[in-house]
Structure formats: C-alpha cells, structure tokens
Structure 1
Amino acid sequence: MDNPLEVFFDLVPTGAALYAPVYDGRSELVDFRFVRLNPAGQRLLGLPAKPPRSFREYYPHSVPTGIFAQYCVAYSTGEASTYDVPYAGDGLDTFFRLVAQRSGDLLVVSFTDMADLPHAAVEAALRAVQAAERTARAEVEAQRQRLSEVLHQLPAQIAAYHGPDHVYTFVNQRYQDYFPGRELLGRPGRQAMPAAAEQGFFDLLDQVYQTGEPYYGVELPVNLDFSAAGHGQHLFINTLYHPLRNRQGEIEGVLDFSYDVTEQVRARQQVQQLNQELEVRIAAATQAALALQADVLAAAQRQVQERETFYQVFAQTPAAISLKQGPAHRYVFINASYQAMFPGRVLVGQTIAEAVPETLPNGVLARLNHVYQTGEPLLDSEVPFPVHSPEGTRQAYYTFASQAYREHGEIAGISTVAYEVTDQVLARQQREAQQHELQRIFEQAPVAIAVFRGPAHTIELANDLQLAIWDRTREQALGKGLFELLPEVVAQGFEEIITGVMATGQPYVGIEMPASFTRHGVQEEIFVSFVHQPLREADGRISGVVAVITDTTEPVRARRAMEASRQQVHALNTELTATNQELLASNRRLRHTNVDLDNFIY
C-alpha cells in the first residue's frame, strides 16, 4: 500500500514543495534545491516533479520580494511562517500565500495562487506597499551584509543559537574554521557538538536562556577534537553568553562570543608555578577582547527587528565598541560603554581628530592610519586612560583592539573594541611589588639558598651566601649544572642525595656533613647542615630541588677543638694519678726503711 502521506502530498489542491538547504564555503545558507514538487505545484509553476535547477536559479526575484528570507528563517528556527506576497517576474504575475516550516533536514512549503480571490480593490495599494518594502529591505540587506562582513572578519569565535535546543543560526568564519568540515547551521548545539555538551557549555547556555542573565567565563578550559583527527586539543577561552530578545522582550536565543587566550593562560601558569615555588617571578597575562555579533537578518518583516537586536547586543555588551568609516576615521556607531569613556561629547558624525583631539599626541591617528592602509590588526594593551565622572577623574587602563572591515573587498573602515583592564594592571603591579620584596628577602636571608632544575641539576637561583660557599660569582653559577660548576664534589655523595630527592620526592636532611671545595685556589674542607626539598609542578611532577644550607664549619671545628682539649686534660689527669701512686708507694717504702733502721740501731 502506498504511504498515505505521499498520497496526501500528491492530492492536496495547493502547491507543495520539499526543499533541501544549500550552504556556501562559510557555512551560510545561500539557496535551496528542489527535492520534490507535487502535481498542483507543477501546474502552478510549470516545472517537473524534480526540477534540476535550484530555487534561486528559477526565481531570482525571491530575494527582493523577501520570499527567500522567509524560507531561511523558517528553516533556521523550525517555526511555521506565513507570507502573502505579490510576485511579478521570472515568468509569473500573481499573488501567493506561502506557508513554510522545517521538517527534519528538509523545508516543507505550501503555496496557494490567490489570483482568483477577491483582492482587486487592494491590489494596487498592496503593490505600492510591497515596492516600498523592497526598497527598505534592500537598504537593510546592505546594512546586514556590512555588519555580517564585520562579524566574519573579527578575530573571535562568534555564534548565535535559537530556542531552548540552541539551534545554530549563525557562525562566523573564525568559529567555523575551528571545526572544518563539520555542519553546524540548523543543527541543535548538543547534537552538533556532543563533546562541548559533555563539558557543560550547553548547560551554561541553558542557564542564560532560562534566566536572562549573561554569563562571563574567564579562561575556561575546553578539550575538543577540532580537526576531527580522533584526539582532543586542550585550550582556554574567554567567553560571553548573552541572551537575545525579541521586541516583546522575550528571550529567543543566546549570543556566543569567545576568543582563544591559551597562550596568555599558559604563560601566566608558568609564572604562577615559579611564584608558588619561591615566588621568584611573577608576570601577568594580558587579555585582549573583541566582542559582539548579531543574528543573521532574515524575513522581510523581521529584518528591521533583527538589525535592532544586533545593535542592542552592541549596546548591552560590557566592551566599548566603535565603528569608524573612511580614511578620516569618522565615527558611524558607538555603544553606551564607548560613550561613557567620553562623557558629554558628541562622537557620531565626527572624525577622531575632531572628537577626541587629546589622543593625537599619543600617535593614535598614525596607528589607525596604518590599520586602514595595510589591513593589519592593531592591539594596544594596558593603555593608561583618564576616566572623568562627576565624582572626579580616575586613572584607568584599557586594551584596544582595532580591525579593518571591508565592503566589496575594499577596506571601508575600522572597528575598535576596548576592554577595561584596570583591575588586572593594578593586581600585576601589586604582585610585582611583592615580588621585589620577596627577592630582597631572598637575597638577605641568613642562610644559603639555591634552586636546581632538571636531571642536570641546573642552577636556577642562588643567593649571595650560597655563592660565597661555592666561591663563585652569579655569572659563573647561574645556568650551569651544579656538578659541572663544582666537579670536586661529585665523589662526595651529594649527587646521589639530590638525585634521590628528585626520584623519591622525599626531603633529605644533612647535619654537619663534611664537604670539600676548591676555594681561592685551595682545596678546603667545610661542614654544612642542609635540607634538600623537592620542587613540584602543578601536575605533581618533580622538576627540581631547593636547597637551604647553613655553614657549620666554625661550630664543628670549635667543638672538635674542645673535644681534643678535653681528651688531653684527661690524659694528663691519668698521668698525674699514676705519678701520685708511684710517689705514695715510694713513701711507704721509705717509711718502712726508716723503721728498719730504727730497729737496727736500737
């Protein structure tokens, strides 16, 4: 038995068509191809059941009339869309009522010829309204194209999702480049990116969609198989998830603006590791940010609304955004955050030289000219910037990212995104001050301290007391292996001790151990008490040893001298005791002799 749905599709008196989407190299929806056309549709359009050419090839007027845009919105959102439109061109001159809705991977369209319906009284007025709408749509489409090109050229990953399933409705080229060959548009996020779902990113999107509260993620770890090679790549990203609302204020989607900060995070982690080990070095990773994007403008009636939504995103983002046009860098758009940097000033319509002349001595104009002329992006990090307010003036710091945007392949202007980084700068300055204090304390410590790294026990740090024990200068010691610097101690057991600490992770304590060094050209034996402590990386791996050493030569020698004196006194006492015993014995013999003499005489 035939499929009842297929029988119904062929018997329905209105035209019906099934379309499949067609994407370009940037994963943008650019056309539809016919999958099937029912008999009524074949009669209305004069086409076979499976037309060989695409929809826009048959009907190029579908773009200015808004029909193609209606199809795109219906496919992207999955919601039914109804559109009454006169169509004069491409061999047709009639009125259509179009109803479109996505079903699976296909777009289902029902179209009714309304030419026989009673509309003659409004036909002329409707045509005039449609002509005005086409003009407005053409202008909006030009603006959409310009904004879309800016978004595609921004050095950040930008995507827009629709509905509670987070269906992809827009991705820029930077985002798509991270997942080459992977189809994203029109697919629910968890289906398209299961690995990201497992790591909780779509749970965050759920939270933003349900609560309307933006989410700011700083240095989020992400592990994804970007190249589809079967193994993940570990990155860090800064991300902004922002709710997108319709005119009624209802949340209809989420904006995803992310950028890769892996290099900054890894650099800072290296500095943090050193800081944890002896807080010897601290540096800060600078964050640069570029923000914003807007949803693709689609249906004729919703194109203006979507353009407004795009500007609302610009206005609501915490980053300061400006668009400047032409070689004179004339402001054509600023958001509230950018305006707050220059309170009370009129910027839009003015060139940068007219609006903010105080920035010219700093070379800002010359750097913007370079971006405009070469197309090379510009990043100015941690720029001092005075911020004025009724409460007074405070010193702030901003990071500015400027990127040329193009129209028709030519550079038309510059987009600038500024993020305030005052807290990071002040925190780094405080850490540097603390680092200097730690270095001062390290140098003035009353014990010898040294740090050895790697299997060669390379000397990374040594304070003055340690250098004095070795009788070496800082230039001679740093960067050399310990036993390369001091070959005379190889046979004294210290290499086995340090190697054992790194192998076992157990500290070693030595008390008044002898050590022989060549000092001032003479082999000299000293005594040292020390602790060798393993140094661990963030992952627990042992990478080196820190040695805290006390020179106990003088106490040991003094104690040994006292011991020798004590033994000498003991020997003398023993000798005196023996002599006394002999004297006592001689005295007894003498008394005995005297007695004998007395007896003899008497």
Structure 2
Amino acid sequence: MLLTDGEDLQKTILNAPIGICLLNGETLVAEVVNAKFLEVAGKPYEAIYRQFYWDAFVEARPYYEAALAEAVKTGEAYYADEVELMLIRHGQEEMIFVTFVYAPIKNEAGNVTKVAVWVLENTKQVTERQKEVAAKLAFKQERDRLQGFFMQAPAGICIMRGSELRYELVNPAYQQFLPGRKLLGRPIFEALPELVGTPLQEIILKVYREGEAFEMNELRVPIAEYEGGPATDRFFSFSYQPWRDENDKVDGILVIAFDVTGMMRVQQELDQQKRVYETITSGTPDLMYVWDLDYKFTYVNSALLNMWGKTWENAIGKGLRENGYEEWHAQMHEREIDQVRATKQSVRGEVSFPHAVLGKRVYDYILVPVLNAQGEVTAVAGTTRDVSDRKEMEEALAETTEELQAINEEMAATNEELAASNEELTAKNHELAMVNRELAAARQQIEESATTLRLAIEAANFGTWFIHSVTREFITDTRLKELFGYYPDEELSIEGALAQITDEYRGFVTDKLETAIYHNGDYDVTYPVIGLHDNRLRWLRAIGNLKADASGAFSAFTGVVMDITEQHLDEQRKNDFIGMVSHELKTPLTSLTAIVQLAHIKLKSNEDNFLASAMDKANLQVKRMSNMINSFLNVSRLESAKLQMTRKYLTWMNSSMRW
C-alpha cells in the first residue's frame, strides 16, 4: 500500500465504517484515529492520539507487539480473524472478539513509513454463533439422552413419524414383542398388516389426526411374532401420545406399550382357582368369611349367607352391624380384628348368634391373619362352626357333677397329705435359702479378696501371667510386657519372653519353666532381661504356681514378675564395697603379720616369757582377723559366682580331723 498525502485520504479514514488508526512507521505514534476505532477501543481520543501505540493498549502488547513489529520490518500485512481479546474499555476489563489488520504503508521508495491498523468488532456475531452452537449441542445431548432413556426403558417404546406413521425409533423392549419383524423405516400398517381393519387402526389414526392422547389396558390383539406366521391372541396395555414438531404440529405418535399376556393368564388362573375355592366352600356347613382391615366383609360363603338370610350383593362390602350383628357383638369382633392385625396371631372364641331359620345357635370360631409377601396383615379370615349340639352334650355332662363332687372330696384328703409334704418341702427350701445366703456371702468374700489381691499387685507394680499347659496360651498384663520391653498393644508369646533373657540365664529359666508346667516343680527364679524396644537391662524375679483345672483337661500356670533391678544393683554395690574394704584391710594386716612373726622369732631366745607369749597371742589374733576378712571376700565371691577353692591336706589323728 502506497502513501499518498492529501485531505481526501484523511477524510476517508475519519469517515470509514470500520476502525482505523494510522501509526508512524518508526515511532508507532498514532497520527490519525477515527471514531469507529475509538468505539472499538473503548478509550478516549487523547489516550490514543499522538501516543505510543502500546502505551494505549498495554493489555494487548504481550500478544501482538511482535506481529506489529514484523509487519513494519517485512512490509507484509498481518491478519487476525475473530480473535478473542481482553481490552480495558471504559475503565473495565472486557473480553471481545475482533478482526484486525496491521497494514504497512510504503512510500515511492518502497519504505514503510506508516502502518494502518484496521479493526472490526465481531463480539455480537461470534457470541450469537456460539449460543447457536451451544443450543444445537444441548439439543443433541437432550435428544441423545431421551433416546438413551427410550432404548433402556423396560417398557416397549416406539416413535412413528409422518402421515404414513413410519417407525423412526424402536427400542429393544418393543422389538422383543415382535422378534421376527423388521420395523424401522416401515409404515406401521405395512409392518403389521394384522392391524388393518381393526379398531386399533382407527384409534391410531385418530390420535394422529386429532392430536389427542389415548390409553387402553389389557387389550386383546391377534398378532403374529413373525411376519407371515400364525396370529395368536396377546394382551397389551397401550399409551398413544401425539408427537409434535417445533411448530407444535402433530407429525407422529409416541407409543408406550406393555405386554400383559402373562399377567392376564395368571389372572385367568386365579379366577379359575377362585371358582374352585368357592365351589368347595359353598359345600361346607362351616361358615367362612374374610374381613378387610376396615371391618368390611370381602368374602362370605353360601352357608354364612344362608344363616344371615342375605344374598352376596347385599352382604359384601358391608360391616358387621349392617349384616345384623348387635353392637356388643360387632365391637367384640372389631377388637379381635385389631388384635390379629397387631400380633399376627390367631384368635379363638365362642359366641351366640341368631340363625335366620334355626333360631339362636352357639358358634365356635377362629380368626387368622392373611399376610402379603412382605409379611404384613392385609385381611383377617375366619371360620365358624355350629357347636350347639356339643353344648347340649355339655349340659348333659353337667348332670354328673354330684358324682364328681364325691371324687373331689376324696381328692381333698389327698390334698391334705400333699399339703403336709409341701410343708416339709418348704422347710427344705428354707434350709436351701440359708445355704444360698452363705454361698453368696462366701462369694462376696472371694470377690473382695480378689479385689484386694488385684490392688496389691497393682500397688506392688508386679506383672502377672497365665499359661495354659496344653495350648501354651500366654496371657499377660501391660506391666509384664513393659518389663520385657514390649509395647502395651503388642502380643507377647512365651518364646518372645524367653528371647529377651540374656544368654547365660535363658537355658536355666527355660528348664525351670518346663519343669514347673509339666512336673509341678518349684518356680522361683531371678534372671536378667534386655528390653525389646528400650534395650534396657532389668533384673526380674518370677514366682509361679501350677493349679489343675476342675475339668482335669489342663492346668493353669500363673504367677507374678517383679522388677528387682535396684535391689540387685544395691547387692552388687554392697559386695563390691566388701571386697574393696577387705582388700584394703588385708594390706596392713599382711604387714602386721610379718612384723609379729619376726618379733616372735627374735623373742624365742629371749628369757622374757611374757613377750614371747604376747607375740603368740598377737599372731593368733592376726590370723583370726585374716580369716574374717577372707570370709567377707568369700561371701562377696559366692554371690558374684567367683568363689575360689583352696586345697588343704587332711591328717587323721586319734579318730579326729586336724587341718
């Protein structure tokens, strides 16, 4: 594009129907800005005119500065069609769609001296197009959802369109009605010629012509499963709904159908069974009837109708009072119906009622609940039998009461004897009660002792255990686990406990444990352990007792473990102290012994007997002190398992031993 100066060019730019901004090719300063450009930019004139272009459009600079620079450099125009752009218009951020061009303008020498920015806003057109696409997508999704519902529905569903009512949609359930027929794309009366000339054809055509829905239940339709096959009677429940286009004009029919042939056959079988049942019940002299939960008769047999002197039509659906029951009688049965309903248990009774022909009679009856599949009471059935003859026999039996009275007197004597026996039993029961109280007191003492023992064990900070002699089940408390370095929630086995005992003691403790469990040996051992998690050295003392179970099948080995680490360390410190003191005393004592012995040797030739005797006694006392110190050392060595053995020769003289 060549630049031609002149007023006509400027007028053309200012009056152009699209936004134009003319920039200096070197500085990119806006030299001409028309009103349409300001409308698209949404900025005041002074914010753009004679301003660096990217100062005016800072928000767009990161995206299009390079494109503008490339257009100036190469002289080739840059096109952007319907791009989404964020501009600050009228002081607010706004997303718009624009089509714009960076068009370089060259002089006669071919150099770019200006850049024309052409811009056209497409926000409205793009938004409307997006809405249209979204609407079409929503329509498609709704159509697909509806079609998916139709195809998965358990009912038979089809859509027939056009004046010929061609099958446009057939779901699997509908196709299952006619597995041997091709339906899609065919007019209904071509696919199902059996319907031609039937009332169903007129109904379908009427729905299409008049646009009114039609429903029918349990309609018999002679139709063949396979095209050309024999027609069989089948029963369907239909719903025909007019299908309308976008102009609300009927252009098809939506059909929802259920094959109820199986249900109709079951109903026919039930009707047949009902007729058989009525035939049976009508021939029995017993009265048979059914009430609903509102106390209305829903069934009565012929015998009951004869007793009432009524017909079926006059009795069914009526209550007790309407069928001649007195108020007290009606209330009694209503209470019994409520009782059966609440408890689901039968009720039996006897009552008088006037017979229409025979007069007042006595009846024995039983009422039972009628339950549905969920176990709920839906009705109450009853059977009543005329027991008037039996009552007459009972009256005859009443005449023998005097004879029975004599027998009762004899029984009274027997009862007196039984009373005496009862007194004896009462005394025994009293004695047993005393024994029970004593046992209860003993049990309470045992419980108190057990509580005292438990508190004592807890106060002494002992660990306790139980070992089953057969299964070797090892049950411990939290304190015992703590002594072996285990966490309270960890399982501790016998093997795990033995593993924490130091090597030099493990075999000894194992032998003592096995002997105690299987040979009832003593179990009082002291040994060191290393804690599993804390690696802490502890000295423990364990005391156990074996007791046979009352069943004789096993023995229970129980006991306690106490932490004697401090006592053991105190004992060790005492022994160390004794050893140290003994060694310290032995050094001067040795020197003293040598001096006494030298003095004794020198005094042998001395005539002073007193000094020689004194040295002998001093030597004897030094030996006693030396023996005493050695005894202390031996005690210390014995307790630390380091006792030294010294050999000495024995000489027998006059049947006595001399060292």
Same fold (TM over 0.5): no
Higher relative contact order (CA 8 A, sep 6+): 1
Q: More strand by proportion, 1 or 2? A: 1
* Structure number having the greater helix percentage: 2
Class of the TM-score when normalised by the shorter of the 2 chains: 0.3 to 0.5
Question: Over alpha carbons, which structure has the higher Rg?
Answer: 2
TM-score (norm 1): 0.38
